[in-house]
Amino acid sequence: MIQQFIKFEWKQFFRSSYWQKSIAINILMVFFALYFILVFLALGFGMYPILKKQFPESDPLIMVNGFLFYWFLGDLLMRFFLQKLPVMNIKPLLILPIKRSKIVHYVLGKSVISFFNFLPLFAVIPFGTILISEDYNTATILIWMLLMVVFTLTVNFLNFIIESKSTETELSFLPIIAIASGLFALNYFEVISFSTLLSNAVNGITESPILMLIPIVFLALLYFVNYSILRPKLYVDGSLKAKEQIATTSDLSWTRRFGDIAPFLQLDLKLIWRNKRPRSSVFILVIGLLYGLFFYPNPMYKEMIPMFVFVGIFVTGIFMINFGQFIPAWDSGYYKLLMSQNIKYKEYLNSKFSLMLVSAILMFILSIPYVYFGWKILVIHFAAMVYNIGVNTHVLLYGGSFNRKKIDLTQRAAFNYQGTGAVQWIIGFPLMAFPILFFYFPYKFFGFEAGIATLIILGGIGIVLHQKVMRMITKKYLKSKHKMISAFDQNN
Amino acid sequence: MIQATQLSKKYGGSIVLNIESLNIPKGQTFGLVGNNGAGKTTFFNLVLDLISPTTGSIINNKIQVNKSEDWKPFTAAFIDESFLIGYLTPEEYFYFIGELRGMNKADIDTFLEQFSEIFNDEIIGKKKYLRDLSKGNQKKAGIVAALIGNPEVIILDEPFANLDPTTQIRLKKLLSDLTKDSNSTVLISSHDLGHITEVCERIVVLDKGAVVKDLETSEETLKELEAYFSV
């Protein structure tokens, strides 16, 4: 049976139009994976010599154990945003002669073979091997390595529990951030020193291997909790079924003043507000706005002006990047309607453009208080806003014509945890990297004003040529219309 | 009104639709029947330029559909649920479509009054989103939305499927009134030979993408169709 499931997964993956259309993204993902593997390998091989050199007095193994807490905390955060519980189309399987428990075990079991669980091994195995060759007790090190695997899996299953709990709330990423920063703070201010506790525990276990049973039992417990969360969801009237919402209607007649694009603007606003996934891109605005606080007060970045450009683009463009890159996939569910209705493509795209434009201006206005950290920041934010409006909006709209991945708005939270994965952030990357480059070179050779001027001029050119560019983009959409329709018709 | 010439659609090597010539005059109620895979939905999708033809062309009121978008203002369709916007309430959906077809809210409210029987108090004013309606009620909303703004060409793919018996009967009456009163051209497909012979003036039978019968509806048509399909 399990073999069958694996075959389905394979077919689902390779037969989806997404795979066929976006090989470039897949290749990019592979490169990222390779990069992380290399980093971890370097860590695994380099750790022992470096620690030995820097701290000749202390035992490298004990020192590494002292850092484990931060490692796992980071791991947990990263997984929350990047790792999804393996999605499987459950409904067709329910009436087949397959035990429900088997389906759940399969879903959970599959999560174990995630890339995230193998990544630490690239550091753990070389480090352990070096330790053994340095005359550590072989049994101790083997126990330690096993322990690391158990801990990694613990984080794996802990993450799913947190995800399943937090998707029920509106601000799905707040709990994890609260938990992580809470733990970090408790540890940092030494209210409860988790890092020492964990370190002592690991040292204890490596000394008396029988204690190894405790983490294993804990892991089994987490697995069981996951199981009991998922198991009752496997009913069509359970969480596989849509919860009926009470419709709220709102008067959006103020959008009239936008003229021809008003009906689309209304539609977009409803789209964003009434569907979980696009709605989260609104809440991300808050995060984006606070993002500057990580950088500006920090004296370490004081001299890294190009870094501020990154923050500026991020702050004024966060909604644009989040929402814009899924144009027109947000409308994929009813794309056929839009294509056969009395709609001009231009108005449809203009509505999306206006939304992004307004968001950039709004975010700029809201970010004005950052002037507290220096007038340069305000200038940078302004230039970033102009660049975002003039260049990035058009890039996003143009990129949208290559969009072939359907977004199922009706899909419920149960088996659709984050909805977006690492790919989203990769696409956002060039949108932020290019303006930094455009700023950096004039800045380096001619000074701050030249860098700012370059961004504003580039943005200005985009704004001046807006009509022309939109005509070109519209043409591109018309050209790929049939391809998009057939791709949006597919379910995976 | 609608002319298809040398129209064909191939997927890979297999031909799913191949029509030499088909001419649907203005004001006709035109019915398509055929077993699964006969090419009915493919034909409708081609008329709406949702897929591109392999060869040939479709002309809708002098406009070649894959060359210009000017056929859109006078053409409306309901093919399947992907024509509905799930996160809108039915009213908002009707208003949206109305807006695209140049009707304001008040126009739509008056327009909707005539459908109160069909809606049976389950669609309007229920504070439900379209995605939460039953399949049948979704279909009703979709069909009614396709009638907004007096389109000259109305395309409905299997309008009778999923509807309750009462609504099926009402829909039949509605469709025949439509061609009488407003001179619209109506294209429908159905697996129910009884319904389609009652509603349509002309019935075309498709088989494996080709036109095998083209009948003016008469007393004998139903028998002829039943004989044809009972092989």
Which ipTM score applies to this complex? 0.83
pLDDT, tens only, A132-181: 888 888 888 888 888 889 989 998 888 888 877 776 665 666 777 777 88
* Lookup: tokens for A336: 């056929």
Asked whether the beta carbons of A108 and A227 are under 8 A apart, the reply is: yes
Tokens linked to B171: 């829909």
pTM, rounded to two decimals: 0.70
A229 touching B (Cβ < 8 Å): no
- Which of A141, A407, A406, A187 lies closest to A276 in space, CA to CA? A407
Q: Which residue of A has its CA nearest to B52?
A: A482
Decide: A412 and A164 in contact? Cβ < 8 Å.
no
CB contact under 8 Å between A340 and B88, yes or no, is: no
> Which residue in the set B52, B83, B91 is minimally distant from A337, CB to CB?
B83
Verify whether the Cβ–Cβ distance B48 to A340 is below 8 Å. Answer: yes
B interface test, pick of A243, A271, A337 with most B CB neighbours within 10 Å: A337
pLDDT per position as a tens digit, A290-332: 888 878 877 777 778 888 898 899 889 888 888 888 888 888 8
Find the closest chain A residue to B72 by CA distance.
A342
Provide the CB-side half-sphere exposure for B33 (13 A, CA).
25
- A250 CB burial (10 A radius; 0-12, 13-18, 19+): exposed
The residues that bridge with A396 in the sheet, in sequence order, are none
Q: Is B122 exposed, middle or buried (0-12, 13-18, 19+ CB in 10 A)?
A: middle
* CA–CA gap between residue B172 and residue B178 (Å, rounded): 10
Mean pLDDT value across residues A10-35: 66
d(CA A219, CA A157): 8
Q: B92–A333: do the CB atoms touch at under 8 Å?
A: no
On chain A, the residues whose CB falls within 8 A of the CB of B85 are 267, 333-334, 337
How far apart CA A195 and CA A70 sit, in angstroms, is 7
Q: In whole angstroms, what is the distance from residue A329 CA to residue A321 CA?
A: 14
Of B52, B79, B86, the CB nearest to A482: B52
Q: Do B127 and A343 touch (CB under 8 A)?
A: no
**pLDDT at residue number A300:** 75
Helix (H) / strand (E) containing B76: strand B75-78
User: Does residue B163 surpass a pLDDT of 80?
Assistant: yes
User: How far lies A29's CA from each of A32, A35, A422, in Å?
Assistant: 5, 10, 8
Chain A residues in contact with B52 (beta carbon < 8 A) = 482
Q: Kindly report, residue by residue over A242-261, the tens digit of the pLDDT.
A: 455 566 666 677 777 777 77
Residue carrying structure tokens 């149960």: A414
Q: What is the DSSP string of A291-319?
A: HHHHHTT-GGGTT-HHHHHHHHHHHHHHH
CA-based nearest distance A244→chain B, Å:
6
Q: Which residues of A touch B101 (CB under 8 A)?
A: 342
What CA–CA distance (Å, rounded) separates B206 from B191? 12
User: pLDDT digits over A446-462, tens only?
Assistant: 988 999 999 999 999 99
Residue B225 above 70 pLDDT? yes
Beta bridge partners of B17: B9
Residue showing tokens 């070389």? A126
Nearest CA in chain A to B133: A244
Return the ∠ at Cα A396 (arms to A395 and A398), rounded to 5°. 65
- In A, minimum Cα distance to B86 occurs at A410
> For the residues A6-18, what does the mean pLDDT come to?
66
Q: What pLDDT sits at residue A455? A: 93
The minimum CA-CA distance between B63 and chain A, rounded to whole Å, is 14
Query: How far from each other are the two terminal CA atoms of chain B, in whole angstroms?
Result: 34
3-class secondary-structure state, position B67: coil
Nearest CB to B97; choose among A262, A341, A344: A341
Inspect the interface and report whether the beta carbons of A341 and B72 lie closer than 8 Å.
Answer: yes
- Residues 316-345 of chain A with CB under 8 A from chain B are 333-337, 339-345
**Hey, CA dihedral for B41, B45, B50, B51, is it positive or negative?**
positive
Amino acid at A78: M
Q: Could you give the percent of chain A with pLDDT greater than 70? A: 84
With beta carbons less than 8 A apart as the criterion, state whether A424 and A325 touch: yes
Single-letter residue type at B90 = P
Write phi, then psi, for B119 (nearest 5 degrees): -70, -25
B-chain residues near A333 (CB < 8 A): 82, 85-86
Question: Is residue A349 a contact partner of residue A280, using CB atoms and an 8 Å limit?
Answer: no
- The pLDDT score that the predictor gives to residue B56 is 92
Q: Is A420 left (phi over 0), alpha (psi -120 to 50) or beta?
A: beta
Residue A465 — φ and ψ, nearest 5°? -85, 10
Give residue-wise pLDDT tens across range B27-66: 889 999 999 888 999 999 999 988 889 999 999 999 998 8
For residue B73, give both structure tokens: 């203002």
Q: Which residues of chain A does B126 touch, with a Cβ-Cβ cutoff of 8 Å? A: 247
pLDDT at A279 over 60: yes
Is A131 within 8 Å of A60 (Cβ atoms)? Answer: yes
B155: left (phi over 0), alpha (psi -120 to 50) or beta: beta
Work out the minimum CA distance from B100 to partner chain A, whole angstroms.
Answer: 6
* Closest among B132, B139, B136, B127 to A410, alpha carbons compared: B132
Three-class SS of residue B216?
strand
Q: Is B79 in Cβ contact with A342 (below 8 Å)?
A: no
Across the interface, do B91 and A249 touch by the CB < 8 Å criterion? yes
pLDDT at position A426 is: 65
Highest mean pLDDT among A103-112, A408-417, B70-79: B70-79
Rounded-to-integer distance, Cα A266 and Cα A252, Å: 6
Preceding peptide of B53 cis, ω within 30°: no
Report the pLDDT value the prediction gives residue A171, as an integer from 0 to 100. 60
Residue with tokens 């126990």: A143
According to DSSP, the residues that pair with B215 across neighbouring strands are B203
Smallest CA–CA distance, residue A171 to chain B, in Å, is 20
- Chain B contact residues (CB < 8 Å to A): 48-52, 69, 72-73, 75-77, 79, 82-89, 91-92, 96-97, 99-101, 126-129, 131-132, 149
Q: What is the mean pLDDT of residues A89-103?
A: 74
Sheet holding B185-189, edge to edge: B75-78, B153-157, B185-189, B29-33, B202-207, B210-216
Please give the helix or strand (H or E) that residue B11 lies within, else none.
Answer: strand B2-11
Q: How many CB atoms lie within 10 A of CB A299?
A: 6
Closest approach of chain A CAs to the CA of B226, in angstroms?
A: 33
Contact A66, A195 (CB under 8 A): yes
pLDDT score recorded for residue B174: 85
Instruction: Report the 10 Å Cβ neighbour count for A244.
Output: 12
d(CA B170, CA B139): 14
Q: What is the pLDDT of residue A90?
A: 65
> Is the bond preceding A328 in cis, omega lying within 30 degrees of 0?
yes
Check: CB of residue A310 under 8 Å from CB of residue A383: no
Instruction: Say yes or no for a CB contact (<8 Å) between B92 and A340.
Output: no
* Count of CB pairs separated by less than 8 Å, A with B: 86
Give B137→chain A minimum CA distance, Å.
15
* SS3 of chain B: helix, strand, coil, percent, to 5: 40, 25, 35
Is the minimum CB–CB distance between A193 and chain B shorter than 8 Å?
no
pLDDT at site A463: 94
Mean pLDDT estimate for chain A: 80
Q: Chain A closest CA to B169's CA: distance in Å?
A: 26
Q: Report residue B188 as tokens.
A: 């429908």
Dihedral (CA of A359, A364, A369, A370) sign: positive
